[in-house]
Copies of this chain bind each other. A is one copy, B any other.
């Protein structure tokens, strides 16, 4: 059920913010729109007077902000990770506009899942590697000739969409809200992807000649699928079985046969 506190399940994650004034502006925008959870990944200057001044009456959001050294810390326990993205990417990712994306976020938060909304650096946004940690990408449909929004403005737009959903009352429960298994946390998914890559090397599927972006494609596939915990267990079980057979083949090869 979506209650008035479901927005507490949504955290705003600012990655490597340069200007403390922007952090303050974000805090104010959040409080105006009933968001409260702010995570700062390696901010350049924080705490800072400029942040406090721009936050106006949202100083409590700054006081309670969680400062992390790495992105992993900020998103490890989240069930849904969303990254803000410019349009052009070498490998496309599921890309939603803020309205559709926040509908998804709001439903998940209402189902008790923890959601991270990631915003990148003022000048360069999120790196490709950071974007690949996300389940979904969201893009504000800005002017193609001047597409770079101020950081605080981008947060305002997302927070506004969430607030509109909150005041509109409850949405229909979606498929994942009534899922039979808990959605896997980001860390579990990451461990699976590491295990997958390791196994693909074991079976000689990942090699120098392999298509360049193979792991990236597999990552995209499993990130967008929103795996549940049992699925992660099944997939890891398959990898473990596969590795058993490879080891066995290779041991036997060393014992007496010729390696292919």
Contacts and interface: CB of A to CB of B under 8 A. Distances in A.
A22 to B, nearest CB: 11
State how many copies of this chain the complex holds. Answer: 2
A49 to B, nearest CB: 16
Given A160-B140, A172-B96, A203 B150 contact: no
Nearest to A242: B242
Given A32-B146, A225-B221, A227-B221, A234 B214 contact: yes
Interface stretch (A9-17, A23-31, A38-46, A77-85): A23-31
Interface stretch (A108-116, A125-133, A251-259): A251-259
Nearest to A196: B238
A150 B33 CA distance: 12
Given A214-B234, A256-B256, A175 B205 contact: no
A195 interface: no
A231 interface: yes
B203 A238 contact: yes
Tell me if A's interface is mostly helix, strand, loop or mixed: helix
A63 interface: no
Contacts of A25: 150, 153
Interface in A90-130: 91-92, 94-100
Interface stretch (A64-72, A163-171, A186-194): A163-171
A209 interface: no
Given A146-B58, A225-B225, A234-B217, A97 B171 contact: yes
B172 A95 contact: yes
B150 A28 contact: yes
Given A97-B171, A148-B32, A164-B99, A178 B227 contact: no
A149 interface: yes
Given A32-B153, A150-B28, A248-B249, A241 B178 contact: no
A238 B56 CA distance: 53
Contacts of A157: 156-157, 160
A231 B217 contact: yes
A205 B172 contact: no
Interface of A: 25, 28-29, 31-34, 56-58, 91-92, 94-100, 140-143, 146-150, 152-153, 156-157, 160, 163-164, 167, 170-172, 175-176, 178-180, 200, 203-205, 211, 214, 217-218, 221, 224-225, 227, 230-231, 234, 237-238, 241-242, 244-246, 248-249, 252-253, 255-257, 260
Give me the 3 closest cross-chain CB pairs, A-B, nearest first: A252-B252, A249-B249, A248-B249
